[in-house]
Structure 1
Amino acid sequence: MFYQVLKYVILGPLLRLIFRPRVEGLEHVPLQGPAIIAGNHLSFSDHFVMPVIVPRRVTFLAKSEYFTGPGLRGRLTAAFFRGIGQIPVDRSGGKAAQAALRSGLAVLRKGRVLGIYPEGTRSHDGRLYKGRTGVAALAMKAQVPVIPCAMIGTFEAQPTGRRLPRAMRITIRFGKPLEFSRFAGLDGEHAALRAVTDEIMYEILQLSGQEYVDEYANEAKARQQSQWGLVRRFR
Structure 2
Amino acid sequence: MWNFERGLAKVVGMMLHRELKAGVRAVYLEGKFPPPPFVLAMNHHSYFDGHLVYLLFRSFGFRGKLLISPENVAAFPIFRPLGALEASRVRAALQALGAGEVVAVFPEGDLRCHGKLGELKRGAVFLAQKARVPLVPCAARLFPRGFPRPEIYIWIGDPVDPDLGALRVALERMLSAMDELVEKTHPREPIPGFHPLFTGHRGLDEQMAGISRALGRFLR
TM-score under structure 2 length normalisation: 0.66
Mapping of 1:221-232 within 5 angstroms? none
**Shift of residue 41 of structure 1?**
0.4
1:66 alignment counterpart:
72
Size of the alignment, in residue pairs? 165
1:153 match: secondary structure: strand
Question: Which of 33, 55, 72 pairs up with 1:29?
Answer: 33
Mapping of 1:80-159 within 5 angstroms? 80-90=78-88, 100-124=89-113, 126-153=115-142
1:15 alignment counterpart:
20
**Shift of residue 150 of structure 1?**
0.7
1:170 match: secondary structure: strand
* Structure whose alpha-carbon radius of gyration is higher: 2
1:204 alignment counterpart:
171
Question: Aligned partners of 1:124 and 1:198: how far apart in 2?
Answer: 22
2:41 match: secondary structure: strand
1:48 alignment counterpart:
51
Question: Aligned partners of 2:150 and 2:81: how far apart in 1?
Answer: 27
**Shift of residue 5 of structure 1?**
5.2
For the Cα contact (< 8 Å) 1:37–1:114, is it kept in 2? yes
Question: Aligned partners of 1:58 and 1:16: how far apart in 2?
Answer: 22
* Comparing 15-24 and 59-68, the one that deviates more: 15-24
1:170 alignment counterpart:
152
Question: Aligned partners of 1:107 and 1:199: how far apart in 2?
Answer: 24
For the Cα contact (< 8 Å) 1:3–1:85, is it kept in 2? no
Question: Aligned partners of 2:152 and 2:110: how far apart in 1?
Answer: 20
For the Cα contact (< 8 Å) 2:38–2:134, is it kept in 1? yes
Q: How has the CA–CA distance of structure 1 residues 175 and 16 changed in structure 2, closer, same or farther, with 3 Å as cutoff? A: farther
Q: How has the CA–CA distance of structure 1 residues 35 and 5 changed in structure 2, closer, same or farther, with 3 Å as cutoff? A: farther
Amino acid at match of 1:202: V
**Shift of residue 105 of structure 1?**
1.0
Moved over 3 A (4+): 2-7
RMSD over aligned Cα atoms:
2.5
Same amino acid, percent of matched pairs: 25
Question: Aligned partners of 2:64 and 2:116: how far apart in 1?
Answer: 24
**Runs of 5+ consecutive residues of structure 1 not aligned to the other structure:** 70-76, 91-99, 158-165, 181-195, 211-235
For the Cα contact (< 8 Å) 2:9–2:79, is it kept in 1? no
For the Cα contact (< 8 Å) 2:44–2:112, is it kept in 1? yes
